Amino acid sequence: MTQRAAEDFLLLNPGPVGLTDEVRAAMDAPMVSHRSAAFEGTYERAQRGLDRVFTGSTLDGRRTAEGGTSLILNGTATMGMEAAVANFVSGDEEVVALVNGKFGRRFARIAERYAEVKRIEVEWGRSFDLDAVDEAVTDETALVTMVHNETSTGVLNPVFAVGEIVEGSDALFVVDGVTSLGGDVFCIDDWGVDAAITDAQKALAAPPGISAMYVTDRAAARVESERAPFYADLEKHLRKAADFQTPFTSAVPLFRALAVAVEDIEEEGLPERIRRHRRQATVFREGFAAMGLEGFPETTDLTVRSNTVTATALPDRIEPVEFFDAVEARNVSLSGGQAHLGGEMFRVSNMGNLAAEDVLRGVRVVGEAMAEAGASVDTDAGLDAAREVLASGHSDPERDATSIEAAGE
């Protein structure tokens, strides 16, 4: 235990994620005015990098959108979710909200403050009935909300399939890409997405506190900012972004860090970054399965397991507190289940810039902690399976339908 505790702290939570030395150093530079040319240069760097992430998250590097605007918001992604609803609908309009996890539910709750909401709700982690979605989206629908990668359950939802449904209406389609953008395939135009939201602290590997939104030209033309919160007025944000500014005081150090983080993504290359995230997720999935643990949930249809957050069921025979304490004693941080799923599962993230040895350590620590908590697991078998995935250089050979459609494969 002494040897394990001496290892460097390893953050495997589904956000915030670890930062590189360069990203941390960017926040240490001397302060400048948020209305200075120096800050405008920072905003421009961050915005250009975000443009690449929002429009170029494919396996072949092709662009999937033209003409939209990347906005940087002085608030986490929940602010972006609220802005996306409040600027596009009013009290007598209808929002169709898809809910199969905590963050889909959050989107619905936000929408209920601004409009009439029709929920398409299934058990957390389960697949949506696309026929029910098709029936729900009518000529009366003004907006459809959906989460791409549902962090609370570790599933990847079929945005492309819902986008095909929404495309047949006049509704706008707004998608939470918080834990997929920067780590997995995301196609704005191909999927019929009108606005997409992400967070600095997730797969972008920047500090928490700011977020980003991509607003297509079609969505920008539908902005009705008089009904939105003053701070989340997208008309103001769009206007100021044209001059590489925000409407109000900017979190200068966080913008600097984001600029470096998205430039790091460009240097790695989005196709390779996506493949790396998929490969590392496969390491976790195969490693945990080989040691005798069950994945959570059992995905079906077009809903598949996430490539950035791996959710795994906790064995019935262990005390969850003992497991999490044993993980913490090894200087590793991971997350349990949220809301009613607390005590039923644990979640590990491979978002950001984790090295292969970090992922292997995660597999090892989970196995050791499970054994200490009383579970019958084969940690060595888990590590052997994990190393085999890394040695192959590939991710799961049974690529999911979402990935195939998204990548045009």
Q: What is the CATH number of the domain that holds 335?
A: 3.90.1150.10
Domain end marker among 215, 247, 268: 268
Are 248 and 347 members of one domain? no
Q: How far is CA 259 from CA 41, 253, 376, in A?
A: 10, 10, 46
Report the C-alpha gap between 168 and 130 in whole angstroms: 14
Instruction: Write the pLDDT tens digit of every residue in 356-376.
Output: 999 999 999 999 999 999 999
Residues 135 and 214 in one domain: yes
Residue indicated by tokens 């966080």: 254
Residues 39, 11 share a domain: no
Q: What is the pLDDT of residues 260-288, one digit of tens each?
A: 999 999 999 999 999 999 999 999 999 99
Q: How many whole angstroms separate alpha carbon 158 and alpha carbon 180? A: 12
Contacts of 2 (CB under 8 A, 6+ apart): none
Span 283-322, pLDDT tens digits: 999 999 999 999 998 888 899 999 999 999 999 989 999 9
Q: What percent of the chain has pLDDT over 90?
A: 90
| DSSP-assigned letter for residue 171 | -
Place of tokens 């539908």: 222
Domain that holds residue 188: 21-268
Q: What's the pLDDT at 90?
A: 87
Average pLDDT of the chain to the nearest whole number? 94
CB contact set of 35 (below 8 Å; sequence gap of 6+): 245
Which of the pair, 395 or 26, is modelled with greater confidence? 26
Instruction: Point out which residues pair with 72 in neighbouring strands.
Output: 212
Residue 70 sits in the same domain as residue 129: yes
Q: Is the dihedral of CA 129, 130, 135, 138 positive or negative?
A: positive
Instruction: Give the end of a domain, one of 228, 253, 268.
Output: 268
- In whole angstroms, what is the distance from residue 163 CA to residue 358 CA? 36
CA–CA gap between residue 90 and residue 137 (Å, rounded): 17
Residue 26's closest CA among 250, 265, 256? 256
Q: 303 and 221 in one domain?
A: no
Judgement on whether residues 207 and 316 belong to the same structural domain of the protein: no
In this structure, the answer to whether residues 56 and 118 fall within a common structural domain is yes
pTM above 0.85, yes or no: yes
107 lies in the same domain as 234:
yes
Whether the CB-CB separation of 108 and 143 falls below 8 Å is answered with: no
CATH label of the domain that carries residue 146: 3.40.640.10
- Would strands 309-313 and 345-349 be described as parallel, antiparallel, or unpaired? antiparallel
Would you state the structure tokens that stand for residue 301, as one six-digit string?
């249809």
Residues 275, 256 share a domain: no
With a CB cutoff of 8 Å and minimum separation 6, the contacts of 109 are: none
Query: 26 with 155, same domain?
Result: yes
The domain total for the chain is 2
Q: CA of 230: how far to CAs of 70, 86, 111, 252, 254, in Å?
A: 19, 10, 17, 21, 22
The token pair that represents 164 in the structure block: 């095909």
Residues 237 and 350 in one domain: no
Q: What is the mean pLDDT of residues 144-154?
A: 97
Residue 397 predicted with pLDDT over 60:
no
Residue at a domain's end among 247, 268, 289: 268
- Alpha-carbon distance of 137 to 123, in angstroms, equals 20
Same domain, 248 and 334: no
